[in-house]
Structure 1
Amino acid sequence: MTHILPHVHPGEILREEYLRPLNMSAGALAKKLNVPRTRIERIAAEQTPITTDTALRLAKYLRTTPEFWMNMQISFNLKTEEIALRRELELIPEIDRAA
């Protein structure tokens, strides 16, 4: 499998592209989103994934789309699993296209 995008947790994007430029703390964002402070802190610290609920809230407040956040999370999950399963995946044969 070819890697096009780097292995980036969406929390890094949230922290580096939104919180820092806005000079906003995770707690302040959590308050705006009406979620527990620890939820945003853990996402920004790359300790927990973005849920659909959080993606919807981030999209509304940050004027993005929920798909933006969910696609980042799915990509991160796939790459993490691919690394974990690399040897096992190598044992799985590919379908014969001629069949």
Structure 2
Amino acid sequence: MSQKLTPARVPTPGKILSREIEVRGWTQKYLAEMMNCAVLTINEIIKGKKEITPEIAMKLSQALDTTPDFWINLEVQYKLHLVSKDNKVN
């Protein structure tokens, strides 16, 4: 079997961030304060209305003890998924 399997759904970076905040028992406000950014920024990322920029990725990595690459890669992989989904031939 040489067929490439792809997931039917790819979670948004915001969904991953939301789960991470929940697991840590944090609020969006608390994370925003840690990142020195607006709560609206965190909320819009979670809702999928704002993308994770390199600057935001750096702040997320510092607040969540991850790497900036982790957050940038989530954003890029999600966008690639959307593009590939839009370009599929039926």
Greater CA drift, 73-82 or 5-14:
5-14
The percent identity for this pair of structures is 24
- Tell me what 1:45 maps to: 47
Runs of 4+ in 1 over 6 A off after TM superposition: none
- TM-score, structure 2 normalization: 0.84
- Tell me what 2:17 maps to: 14
1:30 aligns with 2:32: yes
Distance 1:74 1:46 in 2: 13
- TM-score, structure 1 normalization: 0.78
Distance 2:24 2:64 in 1: 10
Q: Report the secondary structure of 2:63's partner residue.
A: helix
2:33 is matched by which residue type in structure 1? K
1:72 aligns with 2:36: no
CA RMSD of aligned residues (A): 1.9
Per-residue displacement from partner, 1:37-82 (whole Å, max 9, x unpaired)?
A: 1110111122221111110001011110000001111000000011
1:28 is matched by which residue type in structure 2? Y
Unaligned runs of 5+ in 1: 91-99
